[in-house]
Chains A and B, each alone.
Chain A
Amino acid sequence: MPDEEHELLERIRGATDGITARPDSVGMVRARVRARRRRRTAWGAGVTAAIAVVATAVVVDWTRSDDGSSPGPADRSEDPPSAIEGDLFRPAGFFEDVVGGKAAPRQVTHRLTRGEKFFALVDWWPTDPRSTPSPYLVDIALERIEGSPAEVCADLGPGSCESRGGGHVAHRYELPAREAFLDPVHRRAPVEVDAADALVRGVTYVRADGWAVSVLVCNCSATGDVLGGTPPLAHDRLEEVAASDTWIRAK
């Protein structure tokens, strides 16, 4: 290596030595991971479930909880339609009732032990008489939260927090799909959805009674493909789904 190049590299190395982290950085990272888990677990579960379907193989990793523990005896994950079309859980049908179009369930998992988590992944084809409908991924999650709705919402990352009646807070966001933790299992690096029009639009309705309902729609698949045009659902319609008391009664 020429001396000049070596000196230049040394100069860069010396310059970057001047920045250091304080010890509390570890705590900050840990707190951010916890906050992110509250929001993104639904997406992670949906993505993993989609992989299972696409591969037409049994991928059981998604049946584990996001904290890494194996499912207990009362945890259940079932293929549709038995769980989804049962008496309590019908997210695909409910989504279809509220926003129209055709929703077909793919996977659902719910933890009955503590009633903490419930995920559903559905394909949704909007009603569009002018053309052949395109499918979208829809991910619905019901989760227990801690803290006030305003505090929880503030931890949810990019997006807006808007107060609603009764102390509830709606978090609305829209992200390029690659920033939405499109991060399937068994990959060493995040999957980048290399298309400008692939995005995730979602609403998390953080309730004053300690529950949060998240509904998101994406025009992408777990493998990074774009499934259709930009999701046609506006935040208002997603919030209609998320804010329904149906989810809370269903738990």
Chain B
Amino acid sequence: MRDSLPEEFDEFVAVETPRLLRVAYGLTGNPHDAWDLVQEALVRVGMRWRRLADGNPGGYAHTTLVRLNIDRGRRLRRELLPGELPHHDRPIHLEEEIDPALVRALDRLPPKQRAAVVLRAVADLDHSAIADRLGCSVGTARTHLSRGLVRLREVLAEEVKGDA
């Protein structure tokens, strides 16, 4: 059975993976979940490459990733994860110390607030683009971002107070 994916898809994956991975890591705080999200988003682009290639496959991938993560958040409420997994079974590299306090603080945000904050910080998106990714109005996206930042500051302040 021949593999019909063109080389352009490989180039797309090579270029987009680092960007998607950073967003996904910001959304999940876990390198394994980040890679799974990125891979799933890219696979969905690959499945539709013929139709997406001339459009905006990067935007499609980012939108898919964000929405998959929101769905994932819903599922995780019903699941118990069996602890940390080794890093070596994923094609990713993670620096030893990545601001664990920040990752913990992000974990305490509701999924859409977290997504809005991460998309602003990592992908440098404006309110309109964040709304597009989240599938909501611009006003709602603005609220998610604003509340997310306020909440994040509060949580980080609590951490600092707890450490002191």
Contact = CB atoms under 8 A, between A and B. Distances in A.
Do A and B make up one complex?
yes
A29 B43 contact: yes
A242 B106 CA distance: 46
Contacts of B51: 185-186
Interface stretch (A19-27, A90-98, A103-111, A128-136): A19-27
B84 interface: no
Contacts of B152: 8
Interface stretch (A118-126, A166-174, A188-196, A221-229): A188-196
B77 interface: no
Interface string A11-43: 111111111111111101110111011001000
A12 B71 CA distance: 23
Interface in A154-196: 178-179, 181, 183, 185-186, 188-190, 192
B25 A19 contact: yes
B35 to A, nearest CB: 8
A17 B60 contact: no
A178 B10 CA distance: 26
- Specify the main secondary structure of chain B where it touches its partner: helix
Interface residues of A, number: 49
A56 interface: no
Nearest to A22: B91
Contacts, number: 141
Residue of B13, B31, B63, B67 with highest tally of chain A CB at under 10 A: B13
Interface of B: 1-5, 9-10, 13-14, 17-18, 21-23, 25-26, 31, 34-35, 38-39, 42-44, 46-51, 55-56, 59-60, 63-64, 67, 71, 91-95, 98-99, 102-103, 106, 117-118, 120-122, 135, 149, 152-153, 156
Given A36-B43, A179-B71, A190-B64, 12 more contacts: A8-B153, A8-B156, A12-B26, A19-B22, A20-B18, A21-B93, A25-B17, A25-B35, A26-B10, A30-B9, A33-B5, A181-B47
Interface of A: 4-5, 8-26, 28-30, 32-34, 36-37, 40, 44, 64, 67-69, 116, 144-146, 178-179, 181, 183, 185-186, 188-190, 192
For the complex of A and B, the 3 pairs showing the least CB-CB separation, nearest first, are A67-B4, A33-B46, A18-B95
